[in-house]
Amino acid sequence: MYNKPISTDFTGTNEFSLPPEGRTEVEVLDVYPYVAKSGKDNVVFELATSDGFKLKHYCFNDVDDSGKTNRWMLKKTLGAITGVAQPTGPVSFYPRDIVGKKFFVVIKHEEFIGTSGRAFKNAKIADVIVDEAVASGQTNLEKDESDLLPF
């Protein structure tokens, strides 16, 4: 067992807080593929508000149980980030082309009951705003059938 004192200083430590609800500009910090516990493919966008709050936005990149594609939010998110309507069919993109871009989202607060029975609140991206993209320039998403992310 560790037998030395552990020191810290809670001066200036604030209580946990959430970003405000409503329309907010965010910046993309990172983008990566992720496989959920259910086995479904996702694309995760790590985002930050101008106030420094960090959020993760999960977009399905898979088909549902009936065989229909479940990529509408991913397509909408990429459209909001790039300011360009996304094509129908396969595309690929490099995270480096997305990181640093800014766009608008709608944040809402959700309350849920944890496994301990305690109530928690978290912030969730309820929607992305496509027609008000603020990304500088246009990211070039290349049509491709074999690259990073199959669409």
pLDDT at 23: 95
pLDDT at 42 over 50: yes
pLDDT at 136: 39
Q: Which of 53-57, 67-71, 108-112 has the lowest mean pLDDT?
A: 67-71
What long-range pairs does 75-81 form, CB within 8 A, spacing at least 24? 75/151, 76/128, 76/130, 77/45, 77/128, 78/141, 79/130, 79/133, 80/104, 80/105, 80/128, 80/129, 80/130, 80/133, 81/28, 81/133, 81/135, 81/139
pLDDT at 116: 86
pLDDT at 56 over 80: yes
Q: Give mean pLDDT, residues 73-85.
A: 90
pLDDT at 135: 38
pLDDT at 70: 81
pTM for this one?
0.75
